[in-house]
Amino acid sequence: MTLKLDKVSLFRYTDTLLSLDEVINPGEVLSIMGPSGSGKSTLLNAIAGQLTAPFSMTGSIYINDRCIDDMPAHKRGVGVLYQDPLLFEHMTVGQNIAFALPSSALNRAQREQRVSEMLAEVGLNDLQHRPVQTLSGGQQARIALLRTLAAAPSVVLLDEPFSKLDAATKTQMRTWVFGQLKVRGLPTLLVTHDSEDVEAAQGHLIEIETC
Ligand SMILES: Nc1ncnc2c1ncn2[C@@H]1O[C@H](COP(=O)(O)OP(=O)(O)OP(=O)(O)O)[C@@H](O)[C@H]1O
């Protein structure tokens, strides 16, 4: 799976926020750092299909060589992980992950089976029936990634994903999250203020200048 940003420029009204011409290959992470207001969230919105006025884009975005410029957000196969895990607090871990599975062919028992498998693959099966409010910050962050992956994305966007975690958990989570994404061959775009995130991602870095 690849993500290609083909001569992409983003604008706020008529001002250029940023311009990128990049290919992110399977399992690679492209990190973007830049000051507040430089257009990082706008870039993620453009890829996710959520660009709205006053923002606009020229150039084209391809996922697996297919142009997604005119594709609605829910068909793009873009998974996003935010700094808040945004889990459904009234549901269990298993229900949170099941909620994100593609709504197609699986019946209820098959969905539960798939969730068990996903949790077992990463050694977290003991969490399946736990209400999410009872999880630690690090556990919630892991479940948030699994929920993103449950939707079988072709591309993952990480928006300051570790910024709310304590220092020790951050270190563990960086290794875990980048490992999971690499093993699955997912091209990943990371937006962060933290150079330690960039170091852990072991990919190419683009620093956006002050606008
Ligand atoms: N709805 C809006 N209308 C007009 N300008 C906006 C709107 N939303 C954001 N902006 C401005 O557009 C610019 C780009 O915003 P964006 O959120 O992409 O920056 P960012 O790099 O993600 O910032 P941060 O690091 O603070 O999240 C900023 O100057 C911001 O103030």
Q: For 82-91, how does the pLDDT look when each residue is reduced to its tens digit (9 = 90+)?
A: 999 999 999 9
pLDDT, mean over the chain: 94
Mutate to test the pocket of ligand 1, among 11, 12, 163 (most ligand atoms within 8 A of CB): 12
Give the pLDDT mean for 82-107.
Answer: 90
Quick one: pLDDT band at residue 105, thresholds 50, 70, 90?
confident
pTM: 0.94
Cα separation, 40 vs 10, in Å, equals 10
CA 158 to chain centre: 4
CA-193 nearest atom, ligand 1: 25
State the pLDDT at residue 106. Answer: 84
Report which protein residue has its CA nearest ligand 1's atom 13: 37
Query: What phi, psi does 53 have (nearest 5°)?
Result: -55, 145
- ∠ CA 201-202-205, rounded to 5°: 85
Answer yes or no: is pLDDT of 73 > 70. Answer: yes
Which string of DSSP letters, residue by residue, matches 54-89? TEEEEEEEEETTEE-TTS-GGGS-EEEE-SS----T
Residue range 191-206, pLDDT digits in tens: 999 999 999 999 999 9
Half-sphere exposure of 111 (CA within 13 A, CB side): 18
Adjacency order of strands within the sheet including 66-67:
15-24, 3-12, 55-63, 66-67
